[in-house]
Amino acid sequence: MLTIFLVGGFVIALILGGALTGFKTEEERTYREKFWNDYRVYSVPMPEEMSFAGEKVPLWDFEFRERVERELLQNTYGQATMLLYMKRASRWFPMIEKVLQQNGIPDDFKYLAVAESGLVNAISSAEAVGFWQFLATTARQYGLQVNEEVDQRYDPWLTTEAACRYLRKSHAQFGNWSMVAASYNMGTSGLQQAANYQGKDQYSELYLNNETSRYLPRILAIKTIMKHPECYGFHLTESQLYLPYETTEWTIQEPVPNWAAYARSQGMDFRQLKIFNPWIRKPFLHNKDRRMYTLRKPTPEFTQKASRWVSVPVSEWGLHPQSSKGPSR
């Protein structure tokens, strides 16, 4: 059998079957024939329209549309990464959504946190840290403590509050949320200089560096996939998502000579202390200034629920994918 493929403008003829195939075994021949006949890679569907923080984005602009399509393709076919985004979003979006709402920041900025860090305490090559990727100097400007013993950039709760302060200030400067998102990547001064030089005040109309040009399209792609996961091939049941943390909080102002011993005194181990308080960076806390710190530990109800959650048998996972809203509910 002669099979003809068109690849990159070239015609490739493969003789399948018979002595001329060169296959060592019939099994190999069958496998490759099945691969050639059955394997498919599709482009992704582009939405007819998209918006960010209530602002319509110009998909009618071919260059902007192609930027968005690039990010949709890369995030759709980065399946493992996107699945982890969705699982983590189930844990962290409830807290982030609440803080954004309290601070008057549009809900869509939760996807900016996903684009920045994947909702983990990432460290960039530029030494930006945490869910919202603060540099040390910027973190201090927005009220976070950063030193050898304490680095509050690792605290998702505190950094979300700090990010809101940054976003509000940026919005006061630029007046629209797309520019605010771009400023989070490029910095307000750099973006302002580009806007002044080019005489434009809209993100989609500016010629910017490659990273910032891709930034909002990537956020839009993540938002689109996470809100409509089944449309892009992602199927998760409720039991496969990560549970939101439920914690008990208290404050301290005294030094802590030994965090492991302190954890035991609070009915938890050091591992739990670090998981729920990742801002602790040393085995001790001198706290000479008697600053107040908030500590967290899991509630007994959460611990019991989480233990049950991870042991749910496959038979109880359910046969139907979750709603099209995805984990951002």
pLDDT confidence of residue 306:
81
CA distance 192 to 200: 10
Q: The tokens of 40 are what?
A: 């498919």
Q: Which of 27, 29, 1 is nearest to 14 (CA)?
A: 1
Q: Which of 111, 106, 149 is nearest to 131 (CA)?
A: 111
DSSP assignment of 162-206 equals: HHHHHHHHHHHHHSSHHHHHHHHHH-HHHHHHHHHHHT--SGGG-
Name the residue with tokens 């002044």: 196
pLDDT confidence of residue 317:
54
Q: The tokens of 135 are what?
A: 């540099």
Q: Which of 150, 218, 154, 143 is nearest to 184 (CA)?
A: 218
Name the residue with tokens 């492991």: 260
What does each of the 329 residues of the chain score in pLDDT, given as a tens digit? 555 544 444 444 554 444 445 667 888 889 989 999 999 999 999 999 999 999 999 999 999 999 999 999 999 999 999 999 999 999 999 999 999 999 999 999 999 999 999 999 999 999 999 999 999 999 999 999 999 999 999 999 999 999 999 999 999 999 999 999 999 999 999 999 999 999 999 999 999 999 999 999 999 999 999 999 999 999 998 888 999 999 999 999 999 999 999 999 999 999 999 999 999 999 999 999 999 999 999 999 998 888 776 666 656 555 444 444 443 43
Note the pTM of the prediction, 2 decimals. Answer: 0.85
Helix (H) or strand (E) holding 227: helix 210-227
Helix then strand count (H, E) for the chain reads 12, 6
pLDDT confidence of residue 316:
59
CA distance 170 to 186: 12
Is 180 within 8 Å of 154 (Cβ atoms)?
no
CA distance 226 to 222: 6
3-state secondary structure of 269: coil
Helix (H) or strand (E) holding 75: helix 62-76
Name the residue with tokens 């001329």: 20
Q: Domain residues of the chain, as ranges?
A: 2-38, 51-232, 247-328
pLDDT confidence of residue 25:
86
Alpha-carbon dihedral sign for residues 28, 34, 37, 42? negative
CA 281 vs. chain centroid, Å, equals 24
pLDDT confidence of residue 23:
67
CA distance 226 to 88: 11
pLDDT confidence of residue 312:
63
Residue 271: how many CB atoms within 10 A of its CB? 10
- Is 1.10.530.10 the CATH classification of the domain at 51-232? yes
Give the chain's length. Answer: 329
CA distance 122 to 79: 19
Q: Which of 92, 105, 139, 100 is nearest to 245 (CA)?
A: 92
CA distance 22 to 46: 42
Q: Which of 203, 185, 22 is nearest to 194 (CA)?
A: 203
Residue 220: how many CB atoms within 10 A of its CB? 26
> Where are any strands of DSSP class E within the chain?
2-7, 10-15, 51-52, 55-56, 247-252, 293-298
pLDDT confidence of residue 10:
46
Helix (H) or strand (E) holding 262: helix 259-265
CA atoms within 13 A on the CB side of 78: 16
Q: The tokens of 136 are what?
A: 């040390």
